[in-house]
Amino acid sequence: SPTFIFHGKADPLVPFSQAELLESLLKAQSVPYETAFLDGIGHEVKLDDKACTEAIGRGIAFLKKHL
C-alpha cells in the first residue's frame, strides 16, 4: 500500500532510525511512498509550527492521490 511517513527527527519515543528503516524497505519493494521528516520535532505534532502544517498538507495531498 502507498505509505506516507511523518516523523519528527527529535522523537524521544520512536527512534528516527525506525522511519529510515521503513523508508529503505518501502524503496526496496518499489512501494509508492513520501516522507515528511521534521527537524526539531518530537513525538507530538505542533499545529503552530509551519513545517508541521506544511507536512500535514502534503500528507492530505498524498491521501487524496492514493485513495
pLDDT at residue 43, as a whole number: 92
**What pLDDT tens digit does each residue of the chain (67 aa) get?**
999 999 999 999 999 999 999 999 999 999 999 999 999 999 988 788 898 999 999 999 999 999 9
Separation between Cα atoms, residue 42 and residue 54, nearest integer Å: 16
Kindly report the pTM of this predicted structure: 0.86
What does the DSSP assignment read for 1-48? Answer: --EEEEEETT-SSS-HHHHHHHHHHHHHTT--EEEEEETT--SS--TT
